Amino acid sequence: MDIILQLVLNGLAVGCIYGLVALGFVLIYKATELVNFAQGDLMMLGAFTCYMFIVWHGFGYWTAVALAVASVALFGALLDAAVLRRVLGQPQFAVVMLTIGLGAVFRSFASITWGSEIYTLPTPFSARATMVGGVSVSHEYVSIIVGTVLLCAVLYVFFTHTRIGVAMQAASQNQLAAYYMGIPVKLMFSLIWAISAGVAAIAGVLLAPVSLIDTNLGFIGLKAFAAAVLGGFGSIPGALVGGLTIGLIELYSGAYLPQGFKDVAAYVVLLLVLAVRPQGMFGAVGRKKV
Amino acid sequence: MRFAFKTSYAQDLGLFRDRVQRNAYIALFLALLVLPRLVPEYLGDLSLVFIYGLCGVSLMVLAGYTGLVSLGHSAFLGIGAYAHVYFAQDLGVPWVVAVALAAAVTAAAGVLVGLPALRMTGVYLTIATLAFALIIQEVFTRWDRVTGGLKGKPVQKAVVFGLPLGHEVGFYFLCLAFLIAGLWLTSNLLRSPTGRAWVAIRDSEVAAQSMGVNLAVYKTMAFAYSAGLMGVAGALFAHKIGFLAPDIFSVLLSIQFLLMVAVGGLGSLHGAVYGAVFVAMLPVVISQARDAVPVWLGQVFAVFGREAGRAVFSLVDRFVKQPGLEPGIFGLILVLFILFEPLGVYGRWRKITLFFSTFPLYKHATFKRQKSYMRSERLR
Amino acid sequence: MTFFEAERLAINFGGIRALDGVSFRVDPGQVFTIIGPNGAGKTTIFNLVSRIYDPSDGRLTFCGEDITRVSPHEIPRRGIARTFQNIELFEHATVLQNVLLGRHAHRRSRFVEELLFLPRVRVLEIEHREAAEKVIDFLDLQRYRDSLIVNLPYGVRKVVEMARALCAEPKLLLLDEPSSGLSVEETEDMAFWIQDIRTLLGITVLMVEHDMSLVSAVSDRVLALNYGRPIALGTAREVQDHPDVIKAYLGG
């Protein structure tokens, strides 16, 4: 019984990370129809930046987090303005290749700037746990779950209750119509990139204490694909639910299936979903008109 | 300016546009025959160019002609390599038969991926093939009875029809022969109804279907053919690297193959080969540049005094010796190509030849792409 | 034997009944036109005939055979070819390649033969090419033969699409708004071509069209639809003067 609860907690925490990275995919996809293969690498940059502010420059944890998220978000906006805006409306292939290329550049940048060592991020929650009903609740895992919930609440309010959030939604649903309504579409896209990169950075910061920081941290982005696809790729709640599902499946297959299944569980789910129900749990089927 | 006057329909079916082009290719072939004598130190790299060329052709069929962008080709290469080594070494099957079996096994794997892929479009397919590659890599790690697992599997030298082709010159010609065969077979397909059906699927599935193209059959066929070619390339690749381990066939390799077709120029076999030359030779160039560039820069800055020169030298030297630099350079080149030359090297080559052959009448607008608003691919 | 007949065709999209009880017959050698305001379900009929959609109800018969459940890629093999309202050409291929793809329904070479490009494939390819060249001559496309579609103006693309459909040597040709986006002169040319297709090539034409001058010039029978229901059937003159048709177009 305890082991099951423990797995649920850990699975939810891991799932939150997948969900956050998937959320980043979905935000960008909804707005610009680009699938950002570099999302995981943005997360990696977020974790490294936070580490740098804490350990190299001696900032406090919260200041460092704020600085890291802000700088990665700014970087995301600049990236959109300088690079990604140019490929809007080009075939998917070009975009996929572009973001893959960017991801490689980021990894290379990280390994040159921060070296190829493996770091641990010191946090106020590190290595502390509370026993709740026979289950050891690690504070790091709780911080991930709480952080995700808070972030989602903020994003929800932002997208539904603020003028700028609604304008963003409009811009993603119909670029041209939004433009005619006087919405600065380019600015909105840059903002969405900023938000998405910021979310990735937060995911990185939350993940860093339980994982380790190295340049390959971004490969978690691949598992987040599974989350995004499971949720329907266009649906924000779907991304989170997908992330949680993948997290749970992964931990359970690690516990109950033969060795090796844990690492590929997410991909097997991804393939199954794509083969059986390509629109995911929350997606709608669309059909091109001829 | 040179015109190719056509007098019969059969002329359009030839492999070469006209006699000039054919002669150019014959000259190239002759040059490749004598190349081993001229640059013996680069033979290994050249064999890799040929193997990558085969990989490029394989991915070009799928991504460039059928429009199915796959990130799973590293897995196909791996399946081909492991299958070949398993058949040739563990079961003792003759070399040629082992290659054929490897191609068949890989093609079957291609069908296996292709069937569920029928329901997916665009980037979903890319993601699915990516997942496939990651799963297969795990299979390579775990199935150690066949693959040797993490310990890896040494590969013996190739012996074809009792002829040992292990030495570099023999292997060079072996790879060249396979590349030429692959190019020939593929261009045969591309000038027949099958190739046209593939292009049709790439540009408009719905129109292809209402002209009688069975989408399921042709997409699966493209997957199988592409995977089969990759299987052959895998067999050669196994001999080239001499030792198989699961982490060789990582997603990064798939990305390199995509880089090949993107940089070479999507939708042309020339592009596949140019891309292969590029991707296989770039590490060679980079490693030479690593030694040369700091020295040059040091000499240039030595103008401002010996101290400045030495400082620049050590700074640049430290920078370029960073281990993570090479993938970054690959990535950067990819980004620059997508942004500034989406038609790839082959596109640039065509622009240059057109400029000279129509001089002084070249219009910049010939290759201008229409500026488009976001064209939704969501509803395909 | 019935040449082409649609009986009580119906289809639902979500909760909307896009077509409801549409029946009509096309006799060989006719030009049969479907008209109606936007959203009346004209193109939906085409998509049902070319089997892109599955009808919720009803039956399609072609040459005495039920084609309601035939796979979409089988349709051209039965002798039905179509064009599209918004042009679905293979944009990064040449006109010639596009037109040759129209021959796909007549592919007789096998994969392995093509892989080795055996002499038989060469002979068949030349046959395809001759058929394609006939269509290119017929529609005056010679000078565009080797241009990529992306570089062609809209009007020419429309003609190329028709050429591709003709290349399939259909018995029944579906033309979806052949005159949309064309200039007045191009529309006149289109009228002549449609008449030639019927009289010279002996192909029956089923067409969706808005331009009434083109409709009256070429149609033998006209069916008017509104909100997925047939409201009038007859000659162009009769349908144009039908009170329900006038009401559907002018409101009231």
| Nearest-CA distance C240 → chain B (Å) | 32
Q: How far is the C-alpha of A272 from the C-alpha of B149, rounded, in Å? A: 26
Q: Tell which of A274, A279, A285, A289 to mutate to test the B interface (max B CBs under 10 Å).
A: A274
> Mean pLDDT in chain B?
87
Is the pLDDT reported for residue B362 higher than 80?
no
Chain B interface includes A172 (CB < 8 A): no
User: Is residue B248 domain-shared with residue B326, that is, in the same domain?
Assistant: no
Mean pLDDT confidence for B93-120: 91
pLDDT given for residue B10 in this prediction:
83
Residue C32 forms beta bridges with which residues? C206, C221
Is the pLDDT reported for residue C61 higher than 90?
yes
C22: CATH: 3.40.50.300
Task: Report the alpha-carbon angle B291-B295-B301, nearest 5.
Answer: 150
Is the pLDDT reported for residue B375 higher than 90?
no
Do A159 and A29 meet the contact criterion of CB atoms below 8 Å apart? no
Mean pLDDT confidence for C30-50: 90
- Asked if residue A136 is part of any domain, the answer here is yes
Chain A neighbours (≥3 Cβ pairs under 8 A) are: B, C
Kindly tell me the burial class for residue B351, based on how many C-beta atoms sit within 10 Å of its own C-beta (0-12, 13-18, 19 or more).
middle
Is the pLDDT reported for residue B235 higher than 80?
yes
Chain B interface includes A226 (CB < 8 A): yes
pLDDT given for residue A284 in this prediction:
56
Q: What is the pLDDT of residues C189-219, one digit of tens each?
A: 999 999 999 999 999 999 999 888 899 999 9
Q: How far is the C-alpha of A157 from the C-alpha of B138, rounded, in Å? A: 42
Chain B neighbours (≥3 Cβ pairs under 8 A) are: A, C
Share of chain C above pLDDT 90, in %: 67
Q: Determine phi and psi for C232, rounding to 5 degrees.
A: -160, 150
- Asked if residue B8 is part of any domain, the answer here is no
The least confident of A165-174, A216-225, A274-283 is A274-283
pLDDT-based confidence at residue C96 (cuts at 50, 70, 90): very high
Share of chain B above pLDDT 70, in %: 94
Mean pLDDT confidence for C163-189: 92
pLDDT given for residue B379 in this prediction:
40
Count structural domains, chain C. 1
Nearest to A136 by CA among A2, A244, A1: A2
Is the pLDDT reported for residue A32 higher than 80?
no
Q: How many CB atoms lie within 10 A of CB C83?
A: 27
- Asked if residue A228 is part of any domain, the answer here is no
Count structural domains, chain B. 2
Is the pLDDT reported for residue B380 higher than 50?
no
Q: Which residues of B touch C132 (CB under 8 A)?
A: none
User: Is residue B143 domain-shared with residue B259, that is, in the same domain?
Assistant: yes
Q: What is the 3-state secondary structure (H, E, C) of A81-133?
A: HHCHHHHCCCCHHHHHHHHHHHHHHHHHHHHHHHCCCCECCCCCCCCCEEEEC
Chain C interface includes A290 (CB < 8 A): yes
User: Is residue B262 domain-shared with residue B290, that is, in the same domain?
Assistant: no
User: Is residue B322 domain-shared with residue B248, that is, in the same domain?
Assistant: no
Q: How far is the C-alpha of B174 from the C-alpha of B47, rounded, in Å? A: 9
pLDDT-based confidence at residue B365 (cuts at 50, 70, 90): low
Q: What is the pLDDT of residues A113-138, one digit of tens each?
A: 887 778 887 777 766 777 776 677 77
pLDDT given for residue A283 in this prediction:
62
pLDDT given for residue C28 in this prediction:
93
Q: Which residues of C touch A289 (CB under 8 A)?
A: 86
Mean pLDDT confidence for A173-196: 85
Q: Enter the tokens of residue B144.
A: 């150690």
Do A171 and A183 meet the contact criterion of CB atoms below 8 Å apart? yes
Is the pLDDT reported for residue A285 higher than 70?
no
User: Is residue B166 domain-shared with residue B237, that is, in the same domain?
Assistant: yes
Instruction: Using CA coordinates, name the residue in chain A closest to B342.
Output: A94
3-state secondary structure of C190: helix
Structural domain boundaries, residue C65: 4-250
Chain A interface includes C84 (CB < 8 A): yes
pLDDT-based confidence at residue B376 (cuts at 50, 70, 90): very low
Q: What is the pLDDT of residues B327-343, one digit of tens each?
A: 888 889 889 988 888 77
pLDDT-based confidence at residue A287 (cuts at 50, 70, 90): low
Q: How far is the C-alpha of B196 from the C-alpha of C100, rounded, in Å? A: 8
User: Is residue B224 domain-shared with residue B304, that is, in the same domain?
Assistant: no
Structural domain boundaries, residue A23: 2-217
- Asked if residue A57 is part of any domain, the answer here is yes
- Asked if residue B302 is part of any domain, the answer here is yes
Is the pLDDT reported for residue B144 higher than 50?
yes
Mean pLDDT confidence for B85-113: 94
pLDDT given for residue B366 in this prediction:
65
pLDDT-based confidence at residue C252 (cuts at 50, 70, 90): low
pLDDT given for residue B374 in this prediction:
44
- Asked if residue A130 is part of any domain, the answer here is yes
Is the pLDDT reported for residue B378 higher than 80?
no
Q: How far is the C-alpha of B208 from the C-alpha of C93, rounded, in Å? A: 13
Do B20 and B2 meet the contact criterion of CB atoms below 8 Å apart? yes
Chain C interface includes B350 (CB < 8 A): no
Count structural domains, chain A. 1
Chain A interface includes C47 (CB < 8 A): yes
User: Is residue B241 domain-shared with residue B352, that is, in the same domain?
Assistant: no
Chain B interface includes C77 (CB < 8 A): yes
- Asked if residue B180 is part of any domain, the answer here is yes
User: Is residue B216 domain-shared with residue B144, that is, in the same domain?
Assistant: yes
Is the pLDDT reported for residue C130 higher than 70?
yes
Q: How many CB pairs under 8 A join B and C?
A: 106
* Higher pLDDT among residues A234 and A71, named by residue: A71
> Mean pLDDT in chain A?
83
- Asked if residue B279 is part of any domain, the answer here is no
pLDDT given for residue A126 in this prediction:
67
Is the pLDDT reported for residue B377 higher than 50?
no
pLDDT-based confidence at residue B5 (cuts at 50, 70, 90): confident
User: Is residue B175 domain-shared with residue B122, that is, in the same domain?
Assistant: yes
Structural domain boundaries, residue B241: 42-267
Q: Which residues of C touch B202 (CB under 8 A)?
A: 90, 92
Q: Which residues of C touch B370 (CB under 8 A)?
A: 150
Residue A130 forms beta bridges with which residues? A137
Q: Which residues of B touch C206 (CB under 8 A)?
A: none
